[in-house]
Amino acid sequence: MEAEPVVVVDRVIKIYESGAERVTALKEVSLSVMKGEVVTIMGPSGSGKTTLLNLIAGVDRPSAGRVIVNGKDLTRMDEEQLRLYRLLEVGYVFQEHNLIPTLTALENVLLPMTLAGKRDKERALQLIRSVGLEGKEHRYPEQLSGGEQQRLAVAVALANDPQLIIADEPTGELDLVTGEKVVRLLLDQAKLGGKTVIITTHDPRVARMTDRVVLLEDGRIRGSYRPSRIPVSGTGGEEEIAAERIIVEHLKRLLEDAKKRKEEIAKKIAEGKITLDEAVSMYLKVKSLEEAILEELTRLGAGSEVLGR
């Protein structure tokens, strides 16, 4: 039974209710992910990416529908079963990488092991080495850079050797070089370790490195495509061509966002809210993302649409 999916999301609906307000964050979402597959979820802010990851990670429960992981229906588990599932079967790198500030890097990695009754210092040190933090095992999270914290969060997620790894914008604040390291680390888990990986990102460079990109919009899946198939554009089936159009639209919107962010930076300097150094560093990040989006649009054959040629 090789073709059994590791993750099955079946017609899931998620409604958040706070007071009188009701937000339907997911509207009948269905998705299957196979063993060893690396899937990216892309979509605008607020489209439901974190919500979907939370349901797959057993952090939250759907309002309707089922989530099945490794053949087990999470929606039928009680709190204790869910706790064990989270501890042993899934590694979650959160959007705001929740490291424990009062524990050192090494202690952060040891914590999930200890909770599982499998404390193994050698393995923890090995994980820290594998994310490139050798020599920094006794530092506290605040003594690490943003990129190092993110890599430590990956090491923590891998502590109990989970089959499923979920990462919510693992490269969010990082520059390309550091971001790529984090993604490579996750890809290696899948390609060398047979793990299943689901990540979200706004960065097309990250998406391109993965097997499949699923586009979420306003709580619904709009389409999906395989980045590796795109270079032979025009030879794909109708479904893939339609998915390409959707991703092109999405990338164009990301490009608009980047433009707005540059305008905001200019405004902030003018108002004296940020220093020139801060502005330059912010500007360079936006600029590099912009270039990546343009490159991806060009690869998709839509470069001329945005360059006005």
Residues that bind Mg ion (CB under 5 A): 49-50
Encoded one letter per residue, x for contact with ligand ATP by CB under 6 A and - for no contact, window 261-280 reads --------------------
The answer to whether 248 touches 236, Cβ cutoff 8 Å, is no
178 makes contact, choosing from ligand ATP, Mg ion, none, with CB < 5 to 8 Å by partner type, with none
User: Of 17 and 80, which CB lies nearer to ligand ATP in the complex structure?
Assistant: 17
* Part in contact with ligand ATP (CB under 6 A); list of ranges 18-26, 73-81, 84-92, 269-277: 18-26
Could you tell me the smallest distance in angstroms from the CB atom of residue 23 to ligand ATP?
Answer: 4
Q: What is the C-alpha end-to-end distance of the chain, expressed in Å?
A: 51
- Asked if residues 229 and 244 have their Cβ atoms less than 8 Å apart, the reply is no
**Rounded Cα gap, residues 45 and 43, in angstroms:** 7
Q: Which among 256, 262, 250 has a CA at the least distance from the CA of 286?
A: 262
Q: Which of these segments, 42-50, 74-82, 146-154, 188-196, binds ligand ATP (CB under 6 A)?
A: 42-50
Among Mg ion, ligand ATP, none, the one that 146 touches (CB under a kind-dependent 5 to 8 A) is none
Q: Smallest gap, in angstroms, from Cβ of residue 275 to ligand ATP?
A: 27
- Number of residues counted as binding ligand ATP (CB under 6 A): 12
Q: Segment near ligand ATP (CB under 6 A), from 15-23, 122-130, 156-164, 238-246? A: 15-23
Residue ranges of alpha helices (H) inside the chain are: 49-56, 79-88, 105-115, 121-130, 146-157, 176-191, 204-208, 238-270, 276-299, 303-307
Least distance from ligand ATP to the Cβ atom of residue 294, Å: 21
Query: Could you say which of Mg ion, ligand ATP, none residue 193 binds, taking C-beta under 5 to 8 angstroms by partner kind?
Result: none
Binding partner at 46 among ligand ATP, Mg ion, none, C-beta below 5 to 8 Å by kind: ligand ATP
State the Cα–Cα distance between residues 230 and 299, nearest whole angstrom: 8
The candidate with the shortest Cα–Cα distance to 159, out of 110, 105, 196, is: 110
Task: Give the pair of three-digit tokens for residue 179.
Answer: 């971001």
Residue 16 vs 305, nearer CB to ligand ATP: 16
37/194 Cα distance (integer angstroms)? 8
Class of residue 116 by CB neighbours under 10 A (exposed 0-12, middle 13-18, buried 19+): middle
Binding mask 44-83 for ligand ATP (x = CB under 6 A): -xxxxxxx--------------------------------
Among positions 3, 18, 20, 102, the unique one binding ligand ATP when judged by CB under 6 A:
18
Name which of 17 and 238 has its Cβ closer to ligand ATP.
17
Q: What whole-number distance in Å separates Cα of residue 24 and Cα of residue 16? A: 6
Query: Considering beta carbons, is residue 50 or 108 the nearer one to Mg ion?
Result: 50
Strand (E) or helix (H) holding 136 = none
Question: Minimum distance from CB of 28 to ligand ATP (Å)?
Answer: 15
Minimum distance between the CB of residue 48 and ligand ATP, rounded to whole angstroms?
Answer: 4
Q: What values do phi and psi take at 241, rounded to 5?
A: -65, -40
Cβ closest to ligand ATP, residue 53 vs residue 124:
53
- Rounded Cα distance, 152 and 149, in Å: 5
Neighbours of 301 (CB within 10 A): 14
Which one, 50 or 201, has the nearer CB to Mg ion? 50
Binding residues (CB under 6 A) for ligand ATP: these are 16, 18, 23, 25, 43, 45-51
